[in-house]
Amino acid sequence: MKKHLQKLQHQLKTIPLVIRYGLLLALALVCIKTLEYQVFSFRLNQQLYIGIIASFFLFLGVGAAYLWFRFRDNPVVEKMMPILTIKELNLLRGLAQGLTNQQLADASFLSVNTIKTHLKSVYRKLLVKNRSEAVAKAKDLNLLEL
């Protein structure tokens, strides 16, 4: 059962957000118009109609609050992405491959001192002190997959 839910969630994520919300709004509109028709054809009491609409908005509010706090407390969402330049990202990928400063300098046609300066900038932006911490943090933030 859980596997099917995960598969469904994955399939839903492939649908653009605008289309998902559009379909949800269209479904809500059809439900409201159906209820409205029932009221005007005297099949449904107007007080019951108002109660159903109020319940709908109550559940909508509860669901929105649940999702708001669920994603707000999610540590992955709260992680701030450091703004790294393309050069810094390339150096970070080189660090992940275990390249030395000299190898990084040769690959990027820069001097070793320039590489050191760029690496210091990377360490500062990632709030780390050395190469291994920088690579670990980059993997944690999925910076190496960009």
Please tell me whether the overall predicted TM-score, pTM, comes out greater than 0.85 for this model: no
User: How high does pLDDT run on average in the chain?
Assistant: 84
Same domain, 73 and 92: no
Last residue within a domain, chosen from 78, 95, 121: 78
Same domain, 36 and 55: yes
Same domain, 52 and 101: no
Binned at pLDDT 50, 70 and 90, residue 65 comes out as confident
User: Is position 6 within any domain?
Assistant: no
Is the C-alpha dihedral spanning 75, 126, 140, 12 positive or negative? positive
pLDDT of residue 25: 86
Encode pLDDT of 68-118 as tens digits.
777 665 455 445 667 888 899 999 999 999 999 999 999 999 999 999 999
Q: In angstroms, what CA-CA distances link 90 with 56, 59, 96?
A: 51, 48, 10
Please count the structural domains in the chain: 2
Look-up: residue for tokens 């030395």? 100
